């Protein structure tokens, strides 16, 4: 059996009982969780600051303070519904439906095993082989070092997140496909920090052009490409290459609402307007659709295909053979 | 001065490679994908070495190499793939097409300068 690594995860810990809070902090440390211990009043601001969390541990006492407590918990859940809430029960009362909607797991402090099992099942639901995680760190450090030869590159301990919020403004996305996995790799950074690093000479002299946002996007895009290549060479077995498709990094710069698929070709764009026929005064809802054929485009082959393909029949009907 | 064509969809990579090679005695032309590379090679008879990425939009590097060896067979030009790909089957395809050499990225100028000069007869 493959040895899997025990990763860390950050959780927000909200418990007004100092003794319980300490016990939970110790529990977290034993389990690899990094607790951010906060008062209820600090919770929302902490969520704003930390966008790489894996869950939230809170006491029922915070819910029990009338409708205000519930509204507060709902506000937290609304802000980050991806974060599972583990509720420490302090009473035997039945939770209302509104409360149950918020809480993913309940446990009582007399049974920490229950919490441990829930955390394992929820926060650490995917186990990563030690050699894979270490290999990813090694090849990424090597790629970063080659793109930023004048920088000292260090990695922090890998951890898991359940948050879905993007760090910074510039991010890249590339498909990762092997016999044992299918998914994506993302790199995310702050545009200002990347520009600063380039100005400070971390990369090659004269590389980066005018350091416009497009130049910075390209820098992160090429770094992504190097990591992806090294990953592929190390972790994709030859038999997977038969179906291997070309990939290029997709670069997104949120600050400029910019996305690049690595090609200068036009994109096919279709706008759709959805309006209320009974209320002409309302502005329509506009949905924009774009097709980007950046990796392969052969209209000649499409012509052959469409000539031989049968017309599809009406949808939603049973087609008996 | 030997004339090198760098074909890569990444402007950063084009800058890194061209800046190193221009400082080391090469005249450099740039193309951003295989289609563009082929076009430049058709127009410019002085190119002696094509240094190309494999994975690129529009036309990948191996397809470009195939076309160079087919459509432009009268051109005496070396083709070196500079790529993140280290897949034996892909290398084999390159060899079969008539690619001269294969360099796995990252680009380390000092490691390839000598061989590139040799290929260009410098």
pLDDT interval class at A179 (50, 70, 90) = confident
CB neighbourhood size of A79 (10 A): 12
Lowest mean pLDDT: which of A15-24, A77-86, A289-298, B61-70?
A289-298
- pLDDT score of A264 more than 60: yes
Report whether B6 contacts B51 (CB < 8 A): yes
- pLDDT score of A243 more than 70: no
Lowest mean pLDDT: which of A60-64, A229-233, B106-110?
A60-64
Contact residues on chain B for A241, CB-CB shorter than 8 A: 87, 89-90
- Average pLDDT value for chain A: 85
Lowest mean pLDDT: which of A52-56, A101-105, A150-154, A272-276?
A272-276
The residue ranges of every structural domain in chain B are 4-120
Contact A229 B9 (CB under 8 A): no
Q: What is the pLDDT of residue B121?
A: 86
A293 touches chain B (CB under 8 A): no
What mean pLDDT is predicted for residues B85-102? 92
Q: What is the pLDDT of residue A104?
A: 85
Q: What is the pLDDT of residue A309?
A: 55
Q: What is the pLDDT of residue A59?
A: 92
B50-93 pLDDT tens trace = 999 998 888 999 999 999 999 988 888 999 999 998 888 889 99
Query: What homologous superfamily is domain B4-120 in, according to CATH?
Result: Response regulator (3.40.50.2300)
Nearest by CB: B12 against A207, A238, A241: A207
A263 touches chain B (CB under 8 A): yes
SS3 A213: helix
Q: How far is B102 from chain A (nearest CA, A)?
A: 14
What mean pLDDT is predicted for residues A22-45? 92
Interface probe with B: pick from A231, A249, A262, most Cβ of B within 10 Å: A262
Contact B84 A233 (CB under 8 A): yes
Q: How far is A205 from chain B (nearest CA, A)?
A: 9
B2-60 pLDDT tens trace = 799 999 999 999 999 999 999 999 999 999 999 999 999 999 989 999 999 998 888 99
Contact A225 B10 (CB under 8 A): yes
Nearest by CB: A230 against B13, B19, B84: B84
Nearest residue on chain B to A217, alpha-carbon basis = B12
Q: How many CB pairs under 8 A join A and B?
A: 88
Q: What is the pLDDT of residue B14?
A: 94
Nearest by CB: A248 against B9, B15, B86: B9
- d(CA A14, CA B120) in angstroms, rounded, equals 68
A218 touches chain B (CB under 8 A): yes
Per the structure block, which two tokens stand in for B85? 């790909």
Contact A263 B9 (CB under 8 A): yes
Q: What is the pLDDT of residue A242?
A: 62
- d(CA A40, CA A111) in angstroms, rounded, equals 24
Torsional sign, CA B17, B81, A242, A1 = negative
Per the structure block, which two tokens stand in for A279? 């209320």
Lowest mean pLDDT: which of A191-200, A283-292, B71-80?
A283-292
- pLDDT score of A300 more than 90: no
B14 touches chain A (CB under 8 A): no
- d(CA B96, CA B42) in angstroms, rounded, equals 22
Nearest residue on chain A to B36, alpha-carbon basis = A264
| Sequence-distant (≥ 6) Cβ neighbours of residue A280 within 8 angstroms | none
DSSP string, A132-165: HHHHHHHHHHHHHHHHSTTSPP--PPPEE----P
Q: What is the pLDDT of residue A172?
A: 92
Contact A215 B90 (CB under 8 A): no
> What percent of chain A clears pLDDT 90, i.e. is strictly above it?
38
SS3 per-residue string spanning B77-116: CEEEEEECCCCHHHHHHHHHHCCCEEEECCCCHHHHHHHH
ipTM of the complex: 0.82
Contact A247 B32 (CB under 8 A): no
B92 touches chain A (CB under 8 A): no
A93-109 pLDDT tens trace = 898 898 899 998 999 98
pLDDT interval class at A315 (50, 70, 90) = low
Nearest by CB: A229 against B15, B19, B84: B84
Q: What is the pLDDT of residue A321?
A: 65
pLDDT interval class at A316 (50, 70, 90) = low
pLDDT interval class at A188 (50, 70, 90) = very high
A229 touches chain B (CB under 8 A): yes
- Cα three-residue angle A124-A127-A132, rounded to 5 degrees: 135
Higher pLDDT, A38 or A275: A38
- pLDDT score of A1 more than 60: no
Contact B85 A225 (CB under 8 A): no
Q: How far is A320 from chain B (nearest CA, A)?
A: 41
Of A123, A90, A120, nearest to A108 by C-alpha is A90
Nearest residue on chain A to B33, alpha-carbon basis = A263
């Amino acid at each position: 059996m493959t040895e899997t690594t025990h990763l860390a995860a950050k959780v927000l810990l909200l418990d007004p009982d100092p003794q319980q809070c300490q016990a939970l902090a110790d529990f977290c440390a034993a389990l690899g969780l990094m607790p951010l211990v906060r008062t209820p009043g600090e919770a929302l601001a902490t969520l704003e600051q930390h966008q790489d969390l894996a869950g939230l541990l809170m006491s029922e006492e915070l819910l029990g303070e009338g409708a205000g407590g519930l509204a507060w918990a709902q506000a937290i859940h609304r802000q980050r519904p991806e974060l599972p809430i583990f509720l420490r029960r302090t009473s035997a009362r039945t939770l209302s439906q509104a409360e149950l909607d918020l809480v993913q797991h309940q446990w009582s402090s007399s049974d920490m095993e229950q919490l441990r099992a829930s955390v394992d099942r929820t926060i650490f639901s995917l186990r990563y082989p030690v050699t894979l995680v270490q290999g990813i760190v090694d090849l990424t450090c090597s790629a970063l070092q080659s793109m930023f030869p004048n920088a000292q590159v260090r990695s922090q301990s890998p951890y898991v997140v359940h948050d879905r919020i993007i760090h910074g403004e510039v991010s890249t996305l590339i498909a990762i496909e092997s016999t044992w996995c299918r998914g994506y790799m993302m790199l995310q950074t702050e545009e200002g920090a990347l520009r600063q690093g380039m100005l400070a000479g971390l990369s090659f002299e004269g590389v980066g052009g005018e350091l416009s946002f497009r130049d910075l996007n390209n820098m992160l895009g090429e770094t992504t490409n190097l990591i992806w290549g090294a990953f592929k060479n190390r972790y994709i077995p030859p038999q997977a290459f038969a179906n291997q498709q070309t990939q290029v990094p997709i670069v997104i710069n949120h600050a400029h609402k910019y996305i690049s698929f690595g090609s200068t070709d036009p994109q096919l764009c279709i706008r759709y307007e959805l309006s209320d026929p009974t209320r002409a005064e309302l502005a329509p809802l506009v949905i924009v659709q774009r097709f980007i054929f950046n990796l392969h485009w052969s209209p000649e082959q499409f012509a052959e295909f469409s000539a031989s393909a049968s017309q599809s029949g009406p949808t939603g009907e049973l087609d008996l053979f | 001065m030997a004339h090198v064509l760098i074909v890569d969809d990444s402007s950063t990579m084009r800058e890194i490679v061209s800046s190193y090679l221009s400082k080391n005695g090469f005249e450099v032309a740039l193309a951003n994908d295989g289609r563009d590379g082929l076009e430049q090679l058709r127009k410019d008879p002085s190119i002696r070495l094509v240094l190309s990425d494999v994975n690129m939009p529009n036309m990948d590097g191996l397809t470009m190499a195939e076309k160079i060896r087919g459509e432009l067979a009268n051109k005496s030009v070396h083709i070196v793939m500079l790529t993140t790909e280290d897949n034996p089957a892909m290398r084999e395809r390159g060899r079969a097409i008539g690619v001269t050499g294969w360099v796995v990225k990252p680009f380390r100028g000092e490691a390839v300068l000598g061989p590139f000069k040799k290929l260009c007869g410098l």
